[in-house]
Structure 1
Amino acid sequence: MLPLMPQFMKKYPAVTPEWHFDNRQVELIADGFDAAIGGGIELSTGLIARDLASAHLVLVASPDYLSEHPPVSRPGQLSGLEHLAMRSLRSGKIRSWMLQGPKEQRAALELHPRLLVNDPQASWGWELHC
């Protein structure tokens, strides 16, 4: 969004955007925000959401981890692997995932996490070797 700001500010010179970057779900009205951008947001009653763009995530594993486990060729085989997961601070739910294949086929990803975090950046660089 930030690369779009010069064009926006030129078009709307009377508007002074103020961005807050938090990895948490906000209460728009109570926290004094006009809008929020994010994924997996649980809406409070009376709020409206619109899709801005799709977020495409990719499953990854280190070569060392993969060398210690049988090859995976179907989504169902992922359930036996360790993984990092995120828990929503607001709801306490563990984030679920829906896999989509190249031909639009879909499969729910049913996993049992080995490590839980509440911030996506906290999981960057971790390797599980248990």
Structure 2
Amino acid sequence: MFENNVMSSKSKIYFKNQQDLLYSSIIIIITLALSACMAENHLHQAIRYSEASIIADDGATIARHSTTAISHALSVQDQEYISSANRIHLAMAIVSLEKAIENGYYDNDDSARNAARIAIAHFKEIKRNN
């Protein structure tokens, strides 16, 4: 009878550890999935604000939208799943958006819009590679 109590207490400890392992695994999977979704959302937002830069009426608005696009692009850059090739596209997109901001502030609207178009091309390349 004593042996049965010992076995049942061992099996209870084992089950609790297995249950903890299961819950931990589920939490890790959910965290990774949400992280990927958040990065995808930031990439989508960067594209969206870059597109808004293209259709903006004046240089200040182009610069404002491009600044917001950069903040979303920097959030994508922090994600671990981004490949080295995509990191290069991301860096080039950020540089293009910086040019869009600079040209927008100097009222060189056409150059600012072209820089935003180049950024969109790089963002879409990242999206295509994922």
Which structure exhibits the higher relative contact order, with contacts defined as CA atoms closer than 8 Å and separated by 6 or more residues? 2
- Does TM-score exceed 0.5, indicating one fold? no
> What TM-score, normalized to structure 1?
0.20
> What TM-score, normalized to structure 2?
0.20
